[in-house]
């Protein structure tokens, strides 16, 4: 962090430790330079001059060697009265009288005292100086700081509170005894650090408990030498060496040399350029103190600034993601609360770093978990999944009531509040599912509570509150489809990989104990249908579509599964067990109910209804048949239900009839199929009842493909047994043909006639083949159709009874309206199928994509085989690349298929540009090997002729979904895999490509330029020269409006203030205010960034520049700026009053526009929020902003915030004025908390009850309350 231009870059870990109150500043002579006091070398020189002494050869050698303490000791021993009469020390006291009239004489000391005061109010600072400059500041500012003087030192642990003069202090009238206690000569140092060791013990204990930062010491300062010797002695005893920091100066070009000198002393250097008696150091300390005083570097402010960006990677020195996580981990929970309440809500992209297991054994302490002495190298955890501290951890016990989960701390509670502002984003639901899907009870409560709140607001028609919720969080209100998914997750219907249901173990217990009640219930639980969810794939044409999803598969991919896996194989041998066969009748109701549950889940997900459930595709035949391939576990429920019914029919036909009747009255075609299957069995279902079922619903089920197989089997079984009347009834139904509404309206007449002829012929032929005698009409129709279509023959293997037919390597004859094909599972069968069907006709579909997901080896083999024959079916490759982009297949697909794709011609890559670029994008972070293929494919995708243009209202979204953008993102991800360092330069593998992407003459590369602009800070830090030459010019509106808009929108999708970057970009940054409308949906981010820059301008911007840019903003831009002002003030935490006085008030006075045409309700509401956010400074804020406030149509939120902040009780007069300004009496409904506010005002200051404003508001409340 650079606080001033050309100043030292303070490491983030030091800033964080300082905010945590763990830093102690060790102040040396350099901090007193502004008061014109010398350093140790200058002090020795002045001593000799003052005493009129000339250094001897020995003394000169000591001075030359930098051993100034030795020189002082030799001087005291050499001159008359040197130590005994304290001549040397009296001279020292005279020399160390400061020039308090010098510019900034005590400013650095004041800054250090500010920095040394923790947020809890404790002051911890140490100085080895003898001067009284700290005393001057303490007296002038009336600071309540306790002081300790050597050798009477405190114990440097948690209770320590005060300023320590480690080497003594010059009193205002120093006596010889006082002077003798100063540690200045080598003998004094020997006593303090070696013989008596009181200073060494203090230093050793200090370093064990705190992070020390040295300020004002030179590299060879004797003070440092003695302290380093003391620490080295501790190191010999096996104690860990703590990290220490030191500010140190260096000359130009000597940075690395000086840094190594400091590191040799086990000190981390914070270097700055030597200039004007360490001016950069003093300016930095003063600027740091100002920001610390106002809470600018506080954790809540870090949240406000960092959370507006997306969590992009950066250099090691710029770990802003780690900075935000550090702030969020504060155990008090206030930064996390600020994160949860931010408007606009922080992006859900932050879930990835929040759940990244970046913490180790050494981090346990910061989360309240005492670490063991033995380091656990395998321990890793994240902010969203971490060990619980003792008060929140569950008990270890043999038995309990089931509440075994740990309780949440305040941080986790606030993160949950943030998450529920994203309930309409399927990415949140998928993130929860991927991590097991077993939600913590508290998270379940938060989600259900929010859903209840939203439902109540919708019922009451409270559109104003709903709009306010969505204004800051567009995904806060889930639509109907997302609510369905949340219902499934919250009720435990989503499959969790954490829960263990072992059907094999159940089978063993069944063999041992038989079917007990407990085993029956356990089997039901094991076979319970659930939903498996994963990310949905959308084709490129759909990705830019802003239309709302119409079905759940537009949000997520889903399938029905069972609690246990591999059910078919687990139960395959059970029919051989006579105990199992005997138990089946008892299990029939359970299996039927479970099957109903599976279909109900499909209906909930939009894939099943009364006339269609597609069960014929999952289980082609209810009876045993080779076409049943057991692809899905849930179809085992069909077979179990069937077998249980057959076992019941053999024992109790009456119960079997009742079960079949129950099936018939259950919705869904699958249960019609089961009923048809039952009716086709001999002597169970009466013939009349069976025929009624077959001809029900105007013959619908006789013709529906959903029931075709079982309807055919029942037709064949019934026809020979029917009497003449019932047979004629059946024959007339067949001759009538299928209902027209069963088919699409756009079928051509000729094709429709062929379909009707085929269906009638098939059923008449089945009846005749079964041995039934058709009447004259039926027989003539059958003969006519046979003559018209001589190729039609009944299949010997009954394949004509199935809507589709699966066979290894060969597909049966299929009618044109039966359009689904299941691809063979074997490698050879799949290859043969693909060779025969490289491209599917429009009228057909198959499960190729599913095969690519489940059978990588077979699909990859087939594509490789065809590629060697120079056959590249692009649709097949497109689906394969989509499937291989899933995490489980990334490694294998890259290892085997990258060399194959590298040989593809440009025409294929042109067609597959989206698929290949996305594959490169997801593989970039993790791939191993074939690096040349990675860069080769990336360059070839970039070189393709992309004809879809670049003009768009959403350049960021277009870039993200464009092949050029995806390849750019892939290259950036590969780059981020390394450990990036400031100034290390771009790698040679990337630089030429990035240079080409920045060439504005190549229009298609604008998509890449958008993403480079989004990562501009990292690129600038790594290779400043390259960024200034190629990337930063894109932000200049005068060069190209289109390019500047694209670059700024890219940057503003993840904006941050980095001073060196802003210094270079300043003209374009300020000019962007004049192009606010062109920034699209990211314009609010610009207004926020401009406001934050104005609140902390440093030495980059002038007040006039910031005022001019702010005045250029349109009204909606000023509204965004006012909201940013509120966030900034709230982010100051407990330092709000200081922040208001030192930041907000000057901003409003010097920068905020004052013209009346900027007054509007939206800005008035934001400035009202600013008054409330000022807290202790509420009266001052109201006085300054009173003219901007006006009655609001919906003041509920402001009144609620006023009541919540307890400002009515603390500042009743100002609160009453505020209420009278913002509440419009014409509103029909008064704010909910208005009564409580007025009561608080009356209680705090009863005389206000007679105020006309109070009376008016009370009358309004009584009228409408």
Domain boundaries, the chain: 12-37+100-293, 38-95, 299-354+383-390+407-490, 503-530+561-684, 1055-1155
Strand order in the sheet with 244-250: 147-149, 162-165, 124-127, 23-27, 211-215, 244-250, 267-273
CA distance 369 to 386: 10
Range from 206-210, 536-540, 1028-1032 carrying the lowest mean pLDDT: 536-540
Q: At what angle do helices 1252-1264 and 1212-1222 cross, to 10 degrees?
A: 50
Per-residue model confidence (pLDDT) at position 307: 93
Pairing mode, strands 529-535 and 556-562: antiparallel
Helix or strand (DSSP H, E) at 126: strand 124-127
Q: What phi-psi label fits residue 255: left (phi over 0), alpha (psi between -120 and 50 degrees) or beta?
A: alpha
> What are the tens digits of pLDDT across the range 1240-1263?
999 999 999 999 999 999 999 988
Write the pLDDT tens digit of every residue in 770-810. 999 999 999 999 999 999 999 999 999 999 999 877 754 33
Please tell me the CATH superfamily of domain 12-37+100-293, with its number: TPP-binding domain (3.40.50.1220)
Res. 656 pLDDT band, cuts 50 70 90: very high
In this prediction the pTM is 0.86
Write the DSSP string, 236-249.
Answer: HTTPPPPPEEEEEE
Containing H/E element for 664? Answer: helix 653-664
Query: Contact at 8 Å (CB) between 1230 and 1260?
Result: yes
Residue 911 Cα distances to 924, 935, 968, angstroms: 21, 19, 19
Query: What would the mean pLDDT of 1060-1079 be, rounded to a whole number?
Result: 95
- Looking at the chain, how many residues does it have? 1265
**Cα within 13 Å of Cα(61), Cβ side:** 4
> Is 133 within 8 Å of 105 (Cβ atoms)?
yes
pLDDT value of residue 544: 46
pLDDT recorded at residue 572 = 85
Query: Could you write out the three-class secondary structure of 1011-1038?
Result: HHHHCHHHHHHHCHHHHHHHHHHHHCCC
Adjacent-strand bridge partners of 821? 846
**DSSP of 549-616, one letter per residue?**
P-SGGGTEEEEEEESSS-HHHHHTTGGG-HHHHHHHHHHHHHHHHHHHHHHHHHHHTTS-BTTB--HH
Q: Output the CA–CA distances (angstroms, integers) from residue 198 to 204, 217, 1058, in the order listed.
A: 10, 21, 45
Q: What pLDDT digit, counting tens, does each position of 607-645 carry?
A: 999 999 999 989 999 999 988 988 889 999 999 999 999
CA within 13 Å, CB half, 1032 = 22
How many percent of the chain have pLDDT more than 70? 96
**Token match 């001019």: residue?**
1108
For 769, other C-beta atoms within 10 Å of its C-beta total: 11
- Residue 627 in contact with residue 709, Cβ under 8 Å? no
Closest among 310, 311, 334 to 1131, alpha carbons compared? 334
645: Cα within 13 Å, side-chain hemisphere: 29
pLDDT-derived band at 538 (thresholds 50, 70, 90) equals low
Residue whose token pair is 């009874």: 801
pLDDT of 1200 strictly over 50: yes
**Which is more confidently placed, 954 or 538?**
954
Q: Which helix (H) or strand (E) holds 1007?
A: helix 1006-1014
Who's near 182: CB < 8 A, 6+ residues apart?
89, 92, 130, 167, 168, 170, 188
Instruction: Tell me the C-alpha distance between 643 and 571, whole Å.
Output: 12
Cα-Cα-Cα-Cα dihedral sign, residues 380, 382, 386, 389: positive
Question: What is the secondary structure of 502-546 as a DSSP string?
Answer: -HHHHHHHHHHH-S-HHHHHHHHHHT-EEEEEEE----HHHHT--
Write the CB contacts of 503 (distance below 8 Å, at least 6 apart in sequence). 526, 564, 566, 567, 570, 571
Residue 2, helix vs strand vs coil: strand
What confidence tens digit (pLDDT) does each residue in 376-399 have?
A: 999 999 999 999 998 998 888 888
Distance CA 195, CA 189 (A): 9
Which has more pLDDT, 59 or 234? 59
So what's the pLDDT on residue 362? 87
Q: What is the pLDDT of residue 806?
A: 72
Report the alpha-carbon distance of residue 807 to residue 823 in Å, rounded: 8
């Amino acid at each position: 962090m650079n606080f001033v231009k050309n100043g030292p870059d303070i490491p983030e870990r030091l800033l964080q430790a300082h905010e945590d109150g763990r830093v102690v500043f060790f102040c040396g002579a350099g901090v007193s330079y502004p008061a014109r006091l010398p350093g140790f070398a200058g002090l020795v020189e002045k001593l000799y001059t003052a005493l009129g002494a000339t250094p001897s050869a020995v003394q000169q050698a000591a001075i030359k060697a930098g051993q100034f303490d030795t020189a002082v000791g030799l001087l005291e021993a050499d001159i008359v009265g040197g130590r005994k009469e304290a001549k040397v020390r009296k001279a020292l006291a005279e020399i160390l009288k400061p020039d308090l009239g010098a510019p900034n004489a005590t400013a650095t000391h004041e800054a250090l005292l500010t920095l040394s005061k923790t947020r809890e109010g404790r002051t911890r600072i140490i100085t080895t100086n003898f001067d009284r400059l700290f005393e001057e500041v303490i007296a002038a500012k009336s600071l309540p700081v306790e002081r300790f003087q050597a050798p009477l030192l405190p114990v440097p642990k948690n209770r320590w509170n005060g300023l320590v003069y480690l080497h003594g202090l010059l009193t205002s009238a120093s006596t010889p005894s006082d002077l003798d206690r100063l540690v200045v000569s080598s003998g004094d140092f020997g006593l303090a650090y070696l013989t008596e060791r009181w200073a060494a013990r203090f230093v050793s204990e200090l370093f064990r408990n705190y992070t020390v930062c040295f300020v004002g010491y030179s590299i060879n300062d004797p003070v440092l030498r003695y302290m380093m010797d003391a620490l080295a002695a501790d190191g010999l005893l096996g104690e860990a060496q703590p990290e220490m920091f030191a500010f140190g100066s260096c000359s130009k070009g000597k940075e690395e040399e000086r840094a190594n000198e400091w590191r040799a002393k086990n000190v981390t250097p914070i270097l700055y350029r030597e200039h004007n008696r360490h001016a950069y150091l003093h300016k930095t300390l003063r600027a740091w103190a100002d920001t610390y005083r106002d809470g600018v570097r506080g954790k809540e402010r870090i949240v406000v600034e960092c959370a507006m960006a997306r969590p992009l990677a950066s250099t090691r020195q710029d770990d802003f993601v780690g900075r935000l996580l550090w702030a969020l981990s504060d155990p008090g929970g206030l930064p996390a609360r600020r994160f949860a309440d931010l408007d606009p809500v922080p992006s859900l992209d932050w879930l990835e770093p929040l759940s990244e297991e970046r913490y180790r054994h050494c981090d346990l302490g910061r989360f309240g978990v005492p670490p063991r002495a033995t380091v656990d190298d395998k321990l890793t955890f994240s902010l969203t999944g971490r060990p619980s501290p003792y008060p929140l951890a569950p008990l270890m016990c043999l038995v309990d009531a089931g509440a075994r989960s740990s309780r949440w701390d305040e941080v986790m509670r606030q993160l949950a509040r943030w998450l529920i502002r994203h309930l309409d984003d399927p990415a949140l639901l998928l993130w929860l599912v991927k991590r097991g899907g077993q939600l913590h009870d508290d998270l379940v409560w938060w989600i259900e509570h929010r859903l209840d709140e939203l439902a109540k607001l919708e019922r009451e028609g409270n559109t104003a509150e709903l709009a306010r919720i969505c204004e800051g969080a567009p995904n806060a209100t889930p639509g109907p489809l997302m609510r369905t998914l949340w219902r499934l997750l919250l009720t435990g219907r989503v499959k969790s990989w954490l829960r263990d249901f072992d059907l094999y173990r159940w089978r063993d217990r069944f063999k041992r104990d038989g079917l007990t009640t407990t085993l029956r219930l356990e089997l039901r639980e094991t076979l319970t249908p659930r939903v498996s969810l994963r990310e949905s794939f959308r084709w490129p044409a759909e990705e830019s579509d802003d239309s709302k999803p119409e079905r759940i598969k537009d949000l997520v991919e889903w399938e029905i599964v069972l609690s246990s896996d591999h059910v078919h194989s687990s139960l395959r041998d059970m029919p051989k067990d006579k105990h199992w066969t005997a138990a089946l009748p008892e299990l029939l109701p359970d299996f039927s109910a479970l099957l109903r549950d599976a279909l109900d889940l499909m209906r909930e997900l939009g894939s099943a209804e009364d006339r269609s459930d597609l069960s014929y595709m999952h289980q082609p035949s209810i009876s045993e048949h080779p076409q049943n391939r057991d692809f899905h576990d849930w179809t085992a429920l069909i077979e179990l239900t069937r077998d249980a019914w057959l076992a019941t029919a053999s024992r109790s036909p009456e119960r079997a009839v009742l079960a079949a009747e129950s099936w018939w009255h259950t919705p869904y075609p699958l249960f019609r199929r089961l009923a048809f299957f039952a009716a086709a069995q001999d002597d169970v279902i009466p013939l009349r009842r069976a025929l009624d079922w077959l001809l029900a619903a105007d013959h619908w089920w006789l013709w529906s493909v959903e029931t075709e197989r079982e309807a055919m089997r029942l037709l064949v079984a019934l026809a020979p047994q029917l009497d003449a009347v019932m047979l004629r009834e059946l024959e007339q139904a067949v001759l009538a043909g299928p209902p027209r509404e069963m088919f699409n309206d756009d079928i051509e007449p000729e094709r429709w006639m062929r379909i009707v002829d085929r269906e009638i012929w098939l059923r008449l032929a089945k009846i005749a083949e079964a041995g039934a005698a058709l009447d004259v009409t039926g027989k003539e129709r059958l003969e006519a159709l046979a003559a018209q279509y001589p190729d039609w023959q009944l299949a010997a293997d009954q394949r004509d009874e199935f809507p589709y037919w699966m066979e290894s390597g060969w597909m049966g004859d299929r009618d044109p309206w039966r359009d689904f094909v299941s691809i063979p599972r074997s490698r050879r069968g799949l290859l043969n199928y693909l060779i025969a069907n490289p491209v599917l006709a429009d009228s057909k579909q198959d499960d190729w994509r599913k095969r690519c997901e489940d059978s990588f080896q077979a699909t990859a083999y087939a594509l490789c085989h065809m590629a060697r024959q120079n056959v590249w079916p692009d649709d097949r490759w497109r689906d394969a690349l989509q499937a291989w982009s899933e995490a489980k297949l990334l490694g294998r697909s890259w290892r085997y298929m990258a060399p194959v794709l590298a040989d593809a011609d440009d025409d294929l890559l042109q067609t597959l540009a989206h698929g290949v670029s996305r594959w490169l994008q997801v593989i970039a972070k993790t791939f191993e090997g074939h690096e040349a293929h990675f860069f080769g494919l990336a360059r070839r995708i970039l070189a393709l002729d992309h004809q879809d243009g670049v003009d768009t209202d959403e350049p960021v979204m277009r870039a993200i979904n464009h092949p050029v953008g995806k390849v750019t993102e892939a290259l950036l991800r590969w780059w981020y895999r390394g450990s990036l360092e400031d100034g290390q330069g771009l790698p040679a593998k990337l630089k030429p490509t990035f240079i080409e992407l920045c060439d504005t003459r190549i229009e298609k590369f604008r998509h890449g330029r958008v993403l480079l602009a989004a990562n501009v800070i990292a690129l600038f830090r790594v290779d400043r020269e390259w960024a200034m030459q190629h990337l930063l010019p894109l932000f200049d509106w005068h060069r190209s409006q289109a390019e500047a808009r694209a670059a700024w929108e890219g940057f503003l999708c993840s904006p941050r203030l980095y001073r060196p970057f802003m210094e270079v970009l300043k003209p374009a940054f300020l000019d962007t205010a004049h192009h606010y409308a062109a920034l699209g949906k990211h314009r609010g981010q610009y207004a926020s960034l401009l406001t934050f820059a104005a609140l902390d301008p440093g030495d980059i911007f002038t007040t006039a520049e910031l005022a001019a840019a702010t005045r250029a903003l349109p009204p909606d831009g000023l509204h965004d700026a006012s909201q940013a002002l509120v966030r900034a003030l709230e982010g100051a935490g407990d330092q709000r009053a200081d922040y208001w006085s030192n930041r907000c008030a000057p901003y409003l006075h010097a920068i905020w526009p004052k013209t009346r045409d900027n007054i509007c309700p939206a800005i008035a509401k934001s400035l009202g929020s600013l008054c409330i956010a000022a807290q202790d400074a509420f009266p001052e804020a109201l006085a300054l902003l009173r003219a901007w406030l006006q009655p609001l149509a919906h003041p509920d939120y402001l009144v609620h915030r006023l009541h919540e902040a307890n400002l009515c009780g603390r500042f009743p007069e100002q609160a009453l004025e505020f209420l009278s300004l913002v509440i419009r009496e014409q509103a029909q409904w008064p704010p909910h908390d208005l009564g409580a506010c007025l009561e608080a005002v009356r209680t705090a200051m009863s005389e206000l009850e007679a105020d006309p404003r109070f009376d008016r508001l009370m009358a309004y409340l009584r009228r409408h309350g």
